[in-house]
């Protein structure tokens, strides 16, 4: 591969790298990224920390290193948590360089068949996704001996399924979308209309969380409108498949239409709410969808962010318990910056003692498919997080992301801790006073 400045129009790899040439040269190789990187702490390998990745990237940009298959391992070992950038004096956007490499690698070597199938065929078609999930869970039945897990089908469809199968022997059916059809969604005197974004994680693996979210929103006087959405596109984006991510965003905008009819679009999945807020930037150069994307981004709120902004008192009963909180990466200051709000909501519950978790904003190791593709490293990161949870002596560890929720639940179970991993909305629902 030549220098990215050489005829980028004919060389897609060079074109990708040319956009990040200046960023790659900012790294001073100081090493401040090392102590904050969860993967480096677990493996001690230089290629797994930002400094190592940035050196390799710069060599590829300068043309002294080709995009070879043996480099993939270094760039696959990234949680995209941005802890490195937050502790970097020149603020090198290493996560963006990782995504650029993944995109360039696919341009050079092709994208795996399973990725293409999921990102470009299944995810844009919710009916097919539902059928695939049902099939995967059917293979999970005891009479088939856990065939879905042994075949790897659960993990291929969604890494969260693989983790969910470790936590429960039975599929969490019916799905959230079906459960919402049976729930009252409109209070007697609605004060506002809220579009409820249904995340894949809660729809298929943790539907009870979504039920709690709707209960809380309704108690706040909101008419809840379940949105006709499919996957937000973050998995495709994280794998460097920018075109698939843009296509999924466009499909969602088509299905949602003008969100001006809604006072807000709310999701209790931190990853979904963060990515929806990025739709405006993702489709900024798309003449047909740019305005719709920007409007959706401006109206999107994380669950706890929305509840605090609404500033409407909830009728909460006593809940005598010590509670600690884990920040999902996509809600930290490194992404949305929704960190004060969930803690404020937890502290409002009478009887609750909120105890700050050590390294609360450090990635738990789930990170989408990372825990599936790198189970040993993810397990070490999970065990470290479980140590801190044990140290807190909390009865509940709260978070606002399905991946984190399952990772934390698995961690406390492996450690044998008497701790429940729950969502912010579930904790509020536990304390919610009876009402209409």
In a domain, 28, yes or no: yes
Q: What is the pLDDT of residue 8?
A: 54
Whole-prediction pTM: 0.90
86-92: long-range contacts at Cβ-Cβ below 8 A with a sequence spacing of 24 or more? 86/36, 86/333, 86/334, 87/32, 87/33, 87/35, 87/36, 88/27, 88/32, 88/33, 88/50, 89/28, 89/30, 89/32, 90/26, 90/27, 90/28, 91/26, 92/23, 92/26, 92/27, 92/50, 92/54
Q: What's the structural domain count of the chain? A: 4
Q: What separation in angstroms does the CA of 241 have from each of 112, 114, 159, 173, 297?
A: 11, 13, 17, 31, 21
In a domain, 165, yes or no: no
What is the extent of the structural domain holding 85? 12-109
Average pLDDT of the residues of the chain: 89
In a domain, 166, yes or no: no
Claim to verify: residue 288 and residue 365 sit in the same structural domain: no
Token pair of 292, please?
A: 């719709």
Q: How confident is the model at residue 156 (pLDDT cuts 50, 70, 90)?
A: low
Claim to verify: residue 378 and residue 359 sit in the same structural domain: yes
Instruction: Round to whole Å and give the CA distance between 65 and 102.
Output: 15
In a domain, 171, yes or no: no
Claim to verify: residue 180 and residue 259 sit in the same structural domain: yes
Claim to verify: residue 381 and residue 417 sit in the same structural domain: yes
Q: What is the pLDDT of residues 18-65, one digit of tens each?
A: 888 889 889 999 999 999 999 999 999 999 999 999 999 999 988 888
Q: What is the pLDDT of residues 65-104, one digit of tens each?
A: 888 888 999 999 999 999 999 999 999 999 999 999 999 9
In a domain, 169, yes or no: no
In a domain, 168, yes or no: no
Instruction: Round to whole Å and give the CA distance between 376 and 316.
Output: 41
Q: What is the pLDDT of residues 282-293, one digit of tens each?
A: 999 999 999 999
Instruction: Round to whole Å and give the CA distance between 226 and 224.
Output: 6
Task: For residue 348, give the nearest of 398, 385, 419, 389 by alpha carbon.
Answer: 398
Q: What is the pLDDT of residue 147?
A: 45
Task: For residue 345, give the nearest of 379, 368, 364, 319 by alpha carbon.
Answer: 319
β 420-423/396-399 pair status: parallel
Q: What is the pLDDT of residue 360?
A: 98
Claim to verify: residue 88 and residue 49 sit in the same structural domain: yes
């Amino acid at each position: 591969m030549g220098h990215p400045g050489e005829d980028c129009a004919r060389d897609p790899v060079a074109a990708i790298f040319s956009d990040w040439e200046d960023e790659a040269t900012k790294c001073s190789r100081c090493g401040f990224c090392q102590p904050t990187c969860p993967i480096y702490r677990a493996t001690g390998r230089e290629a797994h920390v930002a400094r190592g990745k940035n050196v390799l990237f710069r060599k590829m940009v300068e043309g002294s290193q080709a995009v070879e298959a043996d480099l993939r391992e270094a760039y696959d070992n990234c949680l995209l948590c941005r802890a490195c950038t937050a502790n970097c004096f020149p603020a090198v956007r290493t996560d963006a360089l990782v995504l650029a490499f993944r995109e360039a690698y696919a341009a050079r070597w092709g994208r795996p068949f399973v990725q293409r199938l999921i990102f470009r065929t299944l995810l844009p078609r919710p009916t097919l996704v539902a059928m695939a999930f049902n099939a995967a869970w059917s293979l999970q039945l005891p009479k088939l001996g856990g065939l879905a897990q042994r075949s790897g089908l659960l993990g291929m469809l969604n890494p969260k399924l693989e983790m969910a199968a470790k936590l429960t022997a039975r599929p969490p059916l019916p799905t959230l979308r079906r459960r919402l059809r049976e729930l009252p969604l409109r209070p007697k005197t609605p004060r506002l209309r809220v579009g409820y974004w249904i995340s894949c994680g809660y729809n298929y693996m943790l539907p009870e969380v979504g039920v709690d979210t709707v209960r809380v929103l309704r108690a706040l006087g909101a008419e809840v409108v379940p949105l006709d959405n499919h996957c937000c596109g973050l998995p495709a984006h994280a794998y460097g498949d920018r075109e698939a991510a843009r296509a999924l965003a466009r499909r969602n905008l088509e299905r949602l239409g003008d969100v001006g009819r809604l006072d807000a679009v709310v999701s209790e999945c931190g990853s979904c709410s963060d990515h929806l807020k990025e739709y405006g930037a993702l489709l900024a150069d798309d003449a047909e969808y740019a305005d719709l994307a920007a409007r959706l981004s401006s109206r999107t709120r994380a669950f706890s962010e929305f509840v605090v902004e609404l500033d409407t008192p909830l009728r909460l009963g006593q809940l005598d318990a010590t509670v600690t909180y884990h920040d999902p990466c996509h809600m930290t200051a490194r992404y949305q910056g929704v960190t004060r709000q969930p803690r404020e909501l937890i502290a409002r519950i009478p009887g609750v003692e909120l105890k700050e978790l050590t390294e609360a904003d450090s990635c738990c190791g789930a990170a989408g498919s990372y825990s599936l593709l790198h189970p040993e490293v993810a397990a070490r990161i999970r065990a470290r997080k479980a140590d801190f949870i044990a140290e807190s002596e909390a009865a509940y560890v709260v978070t606002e992301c399905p991946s984190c929720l399952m990772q934390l639940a698995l961690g406390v179970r492996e450690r044998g801790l008497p701790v429940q991993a729950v969502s912010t909305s579930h904790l509020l629902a536990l304390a919610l006073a009876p009402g209409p």
